[in-house]
């Protein structure tokens, strides 16, 4: 049965997924809303979205839309997801899942309470390197995995200034200082998307920015952040470790490969570098670069990319690689634009398939927590000059209710967005507009959400119908 979808946030990224959702046979109609109504109107007109526009987010939730897709500012995702779930809507969210442990806990509880679908659209889960490593894990070719690395290297000069100016308005420098470790999923997701473990402790170092251009300036930063680069070392539940780099000031050309990964096992090693990918074992070295090379689906000067800074366009033209199994995708995607090394098609299909078949999506709430929460703890470690924070560190205070959490998160998001579309998180159930719903966490408090417990829940909680590569009903890989 097809369902209707509301696009929330009609910025640079939304159109690429609006096109895919529109092509998917599982989606009936699409509508849009944005703090700037003209952007929503332009999105609807450009893609011929039959659902039209909504004046604000609350009105969209009051409508008969079945699901929402969040393409808003990254610090708003947590509260908006909770509000939508409690209003009876399935949720697709851009990364990151949330900014705080409390927001993550509220999303997980809302999914448990409502039974609705939540999915985070982490592109690195379908990065060709991650897919290849996942295959090698399934073959037990690594032996015992004991160490991995993930890098997300995106210099601010390569399109990020323009992107933040587009989304942040006059005060864009306040939001351009977003802490690198609070945007960790492109590095962590590539590691844990293949290695089925979770982080239990972390020590991190942040590099204080010295550009002095008002970005990453704590006096200006909305997030009280002056780190432009950060490195974190995590211990894993199975006794191994992995390291991530989140760099925003780095002498690296992102047209090559923004995300890079390395995996070390007792029987094999796999690594992706700038222009080469290699599999090593005790017999020798195999160059697998062509197997992982994504083919373009658009020209960089395609008119559909006119609103995207040239430095960012590579992320929106790359298609699938030979390592990807496209047989599970709908035929309508065959010639559709893709992006982020072939991941967009799989992410869109995962969400639609999960909603249609009531199956757990690939990057469900528990997996999303496993990809997101370690970065939150790591940022706190960096703020403490690299203090190793154990699995019980940084507990939220006992007795914090989901309702109070949601109200506080909504207020923060509303102030940050400078708009009216977050008029409080009204905890609602379908058929009960404005009604109040107290989740399990409201009764228990949120003290049970330290690093290990959320990550461990992410590792074990998805129901049996969820495979590591997507809803098993579609045989995703």
Q: How do the domains of the chain map onto residue ranges?
A: 3-122+359-364+395-455, 124-338
Residue 422 or residue 64, greater confidence: 64
Same topology between domain 3-122+359-364+395-455 and domain 124-338: no
* Mean per-residue pLDDT, 198-211: 97
Residue 159's pLDDT band (boundaries 50, 70, 90)? Answer: confident
Q: In sequence order, what are the residues at sequence separation of 6 or more whose Cβ sits closer than 8 angstroms to the Cβ of residue 351?
A: 67, 69, 90, 92, 117, 119, 121, 361
Q: Which fold has domain 124-338?
A: Dihydrodipicolinate Reductase; domain 2 (3.30.360)
Residue 168's pLDDT band (boundaries 50, 70, 90)? Answer: confident
> What single DSSP character describes residue 212?
-
**pLDDT, tens only, 301-333:** 767 756 666 665 566 667 899 999 999 999 999
Cross-strand partners of 231 = 205, 245
The pTM of the whole model exceeds 0.75: yes
Q: Provide the pLDDT for residue 303.
A: 75
SS3 469: coil
296 pLDDT above the threshold of 90:
no
Q: How far is CA 432 from the centre of its chain?
A: 30
> What single DSSP character describes residue 291?
G
Residues in the chain: 477
Measured between alpha carbons, how far is residue 416 from residues 50, 61, 125, 133, 464 in Å? Answer: 31, 21, 29, 39, 39
- CB atoms under 10 Å from CB of 178, counted, come to 23
Q: Say if CB 279 and CB 137 are below 8 A apart.
A: no
Which of these CATH numbers, 2.30.42.10, 3.30.590.20, 3.40.50.720, 1.10.10.10, describes 3-122+359-364+395-455? Answer: 3.40.50.720
Mean pLDDT (the chain) is 83
Q: Percent of the chain at pLDDT above 70?
A: 78
Nearest-angstrom CA–CA distance, 259 and 274: 9
Q: Provide the pLDDT for residue 305.
A: 59
30 φψ region: left (φ > 0), alpha (ψ -120 to 50), beta (else): beta
SS3 32: strand
Nearest-angstrom CA–CA distance, 28 and 182: 35
Q: Provide the pLDDT for residue 466.
A: 43
Q: Provide the pLDDT for residue 313.
A: 59
Question: Which token pair is 27?
Answer: 């989606």
Q: Provide the pLDDT for residue 472.
A: 36
Nearest-angstrom CA–CA distance, 7 and 326: 25
């Amino acid at each position: 049965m097809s369902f209707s979808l509301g696009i929330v946030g009609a910025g640079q990224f939304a159109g690429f997924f609006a096109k895919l959702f529109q092509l998917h046979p599982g989606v009936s109609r699409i509508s849009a809303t944005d703090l700037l109504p003209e952007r929503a109107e332009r999105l609807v007109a450009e893609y011929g979205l039959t659902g039209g526009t909504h004046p604000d987010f609350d009105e969209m939730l009051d409508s008969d839309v079945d699901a929402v897709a969040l393409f808003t500012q990254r610090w708003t995702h947590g509260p908006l997801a909770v509000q939508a779930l409690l209003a009876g809507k399935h949720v697709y969210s851009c990364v990151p899942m949330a900014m705080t442990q409390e927001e993550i806990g509220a999303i997980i509880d809302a999914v448990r309470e409502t039974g609705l679908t939540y999915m985070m659209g982490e592109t690195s889960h379908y990065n060709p390197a991650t897919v290849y490593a996942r295959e090698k894990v399934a073959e037990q070719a690594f032996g015992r995995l004991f160490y991995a690395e993930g890098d997300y290297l995106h210099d601010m000069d390569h399109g990020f200034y323009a992107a933040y100016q587009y989304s942040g308005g006059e005060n864009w420098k306040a939001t351009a200082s977003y802490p690198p470790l609070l945007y960790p999923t492109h590095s962590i997701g590539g590691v844990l998307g293949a290695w089925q473990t979770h982080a239990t402790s972390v020590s991190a170092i942040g590099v204080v920015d010295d550009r002095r251009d008002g970005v990453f300036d704590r006096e200006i930063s909305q997030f009280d952040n002056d780190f432009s680069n950060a490195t974190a070392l995590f211990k894993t539940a199975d006794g191994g470790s992995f390291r991530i780099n989140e760099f925003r000031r780095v002498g690296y050309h992102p047209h090559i490969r923004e995300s890079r990964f390395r995996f070390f096992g007792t029987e094999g090693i796999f690594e992706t570098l700038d222009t080469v990918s290699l599999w090593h074992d005790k017999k020798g070295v195999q160059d697998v670069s062509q197997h992982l090379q994504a083919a373009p689906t658009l020209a960089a000067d395609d008119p559909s990319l006119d609103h995207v800074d040239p430095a960012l366009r590579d992320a929106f033209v790359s298609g699938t690689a030979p390592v990807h199994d496209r047989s599970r995708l709908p035929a309508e995607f065959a010639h559709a634009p893709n992006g982020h090394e072939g991941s967009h098609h799989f992410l869109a299909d995962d969400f639609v398939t999960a909603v249609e078949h009531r199956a757990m999506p690939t990057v469900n709430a528990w997996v999303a927590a496993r990809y997101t929460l370690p970065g939150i703890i790591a940022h706190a470690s960096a703020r403490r000059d690299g203090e190793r924070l154990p699995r019980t560190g940084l507990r939220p205070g006992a007795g914090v209710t989901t309702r109070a959490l949601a109200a506080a998160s909504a207020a923060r998001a509303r102030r940050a967005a400078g708009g009216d579309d977050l008029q409080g998180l009204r905890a609602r159930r379908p058929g009960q507009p404005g009604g109040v719903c107290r989740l399990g966490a409201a009764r228990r408090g949120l003290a049970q959400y330290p690093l290990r417990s959320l990550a461990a829940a992410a590792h074990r909680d998805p129901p049996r119908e969820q495979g590591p590569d997507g809803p098993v009903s579609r045989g995703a890989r």
